[in-house]
Amino acid sequence: MGRQRVFLTGATGTMGFLGMQELLKDKGELDLVVLARPSDRNKRILAPFEPKGLEIVWGDLTSYEDVKKGVKDADIVLHVGAFVSPQADYHPKTAMEINYGSTARIIKAMQELGQEEKTKLVYIGTVAETGDRLPPIHWGRIGDPLKPSIYDYYAVSKVAAERCVIESGLPGWVSLRQTGIIGPAMAAIEDAIMFHNCLDNVLEYVSDRDSAILLRNLCAKERSKELGNDFWQHIFNIGGGESCRISTYAMYEHLFGAIGIKDLSNVLEMNWFATRNFHGHYYLDSDKLQNFLHFRHDSIQYFYDAYLKSLGPVAYLSKFITLFPGGQKAVGKAIKERFLKSARTEHGTVHFIEDDMLPQIETYFGSRKEWEKILPAKDFKPYAKWDEFLNIDHGYDDTKPESTLTITDVKKAAEFRGGKCLSSNMATGDWKTKLAFRCGFGHEFKASPRLVLEGGHWCPACERESWNYSSRAKIDPFFAQVWDPIHHKGEETQAIPKSVSELDVTI
């Protein structure tokens, strides 16, 4: 193999920017091409890297011709670029256009250029695809049901994009579902989305630096032909491992404790935080990707350090003031006022309550009565049984070798999803060929076993139309496992229509 040509999208974002710098360390063995919008900011931050061998295609992910320029002659495409939350929450059409559209354009370019066999596609998905997994279902793995949270159009667009990748027919694709990325960028976020993150929610984070190392190691291992069929055409969770697992409540305790505030009631009200409908869980299977790419180095302490650094002298001043009587309240008052201002913005939970926005109240709290039951900080008891978990049944024997999968396995899994596999036969061990299915609502569609069994995807019509989760849980035992334990089983009827789908995007 000659020099490896790598095409990277998202080079001016958090993961992509550090990934670009890691990849340039191997400039003796690869040529790196990035696609970036020609904004003043992007020109400024990328300029220092052109002399180091960086090739820049100035363009946009929404332009097929621009995408095609980057894909041409690439040995590997690292599709990191995305329009992410919280911005995606405010602009759902843009999220679908960029996140689904760019993915479809990359695949189209690979096919039109005749590079299906030559080019590998690394797609970066998201933990948001599986939605909220609060206790007791806070441990998850690949193959669990997809459940983008209501109003989360970032997740919706990424589900559509991942489906496009898995069903592309390309021989060399992999989908890596990224978790929350800790680092300076996360420390700087000030948006109402922080109140969507439930206090008893958990995430197995990964650092921005380790995410960058992941990209570099992946390319290096592909150059040395270490990645085979047990890597390509599969889906993996990106997670930092045990040292990066933390609950939202515990994170706040540590962050504010580090500046001398031991009583969270000085800075937060517990009823500002949603009690459902965010995303995140601990991973039962994130070691699988670590064993391939060996990227983990940082722990959650890296984020704590980044947060304190972002505060600058304020952190030291706060520590000093809080040593004195009344100091915690004095420091906390300013922080609390800033947080409340954010919680009253367009997508803020306090705004939902104060303006009696019933669909949002039901979505994020269950009901106003449920919201009224939230205890104040002094009485709040966070969940503690983090090591306990409920295993999600995938509806077939997923411990058997892939090569032994039969049509009987697929039919059993389809029935467990409240539907039916309409195909009468398949080649044993064939995870790629599409089969015919019918969902419990009568929609007929075609999908590969890889998409349904490993990916956790199901009916595309249901996914496009609405968040009809309470209705789906009544007829789909597979899905009910991630809905009923954290909702009022059989009592909820909410169905929120979706304003955009991948069908609205022109490639």
Where is 77: in which H helix or E strand? strand 76-79
Instruction: Supply the DSSP symbol for 468.
Output: -
> Which of 270, 297, 324 is a domain's end point?
297
Q: Which amino acid, 167?
A: E
Q: pTM for this structure? A: 0.96
CATH of the domain at 220: 3.40.50.720
Domain boundary among 255, 270, 297: 297
Number of continuous H segments (helices) and E segments (strands) in the chain: 22, 18
Q: Which residue, 149, 240, 163, 236, is CA-closest to 201?
A: 149
Whether the Cβ atoms of residue 345 and residue 354 lie closer than 8 Å to each other: no
In a domain, 308, yes or no: no
Question: Is 210 within a domain?
Answer: yes
How many structural domains is the chain composed of? 2
In this structure, the answer to whether residues 149 and 28 fall within a common structural domain is yes
Residue entry with tokens 């790419």: 293
**What is the residue type of 465?**
E
Task: Name the residue with tokens 């789906």.
Answer: 472
| pLDDT value, residue 267 | 94
Query: Mean pLDDT score of the chain, rounded to an integer?
Result: 96
Q: Return d(Cα 101, Cα 485) in angstroms, integer.
A: 35
Please indicate, yes or no, if residue 166 is contained in any of the structural domains: yes
Residue at a domain's end among 277, 297, 317: 297
- Give the tens place of pLDDT for each residue, 101-145: 999 999 999 999 999 999 999 999 999 999 999 999 999 999 999
∠ CA 486-492-496, rounded to 5°: 100
Residue-level pLDDT at 189: 86
Using one digit for the tens of pLDDT, what is the confidence trace for 261-289? 999 999 999 999 999 999 999 999 999 99
| Residue 427 within a domain | yes
* 409-451 residue pLDDT tens: 999 999 999 999 999 999 999 999 999 999 999 999 999 999 9
Judge if 292 and 435 occupy the same domain. Answer: no
Are the beta carbons of 5 and 31 closer than 8 angstroms? yes
**Do 377 and 268 touch, CB atoms closer than 8 A?**
yes
Q: Using an 8 Å Cβ cutoff, are 277 and 196 in contact?
A: yes
Identify whether residues 30 and 169 lie together within a single domain: yes
126 located within any domain: yes
CA distance 106 to 86: 25
Chain centre distance of CA 408 = 32
Q: What is the mean pLDDT of residues 24-51?
A: 97
Q: How confident is the model at residue 232 (pLDDT cuts 50, 70, 90)?
A: very high
Residue 82 resides in a domain: yes
Please provide the size of the chain in residues.
507
The tokens for 190 are 């000030």
Q: Which two tokens stand for residue 109?
A: 């370019």
Residue 231 shares a structural domain with residue 83: yes
User: Helix, strand, or coil here: 183?
Assistant: coil
Helix (H, G, I), strand (E, B) or coil at 204: strand
Q: Are residues 148 and 10 in the same domain?
A: yes
Please give the DSSP secondary-structure letter assigned to residue 300: T
198/275 Cα distance (integer angstroms)? 5
Is residue 406 predicted with pLDDT exceeding 60?
yes
415 part of a folded domain: yes
Tokens of 360: 């949002």
Question: Which residue segment(s) compose the domain that 11 sits in?
Answer: 4-189+206-242+285-297
DSSP 149: P
Under the banding of pLDDT at 50, 70 and 90, the label for residue 190 is confident
User: Do residue 29 and residue 146 come from a single domain?
Assistant: yes
Q: Residue 489 — very low, low, confident or very high, per pLDDT cuts 50/70/90?
A: confident
Task: Give the three-state DSSP class for 376.
Answer: coil
Residue 471 lies in a domain: yes
Note whether 213 and 92 are same-domain residues: yes
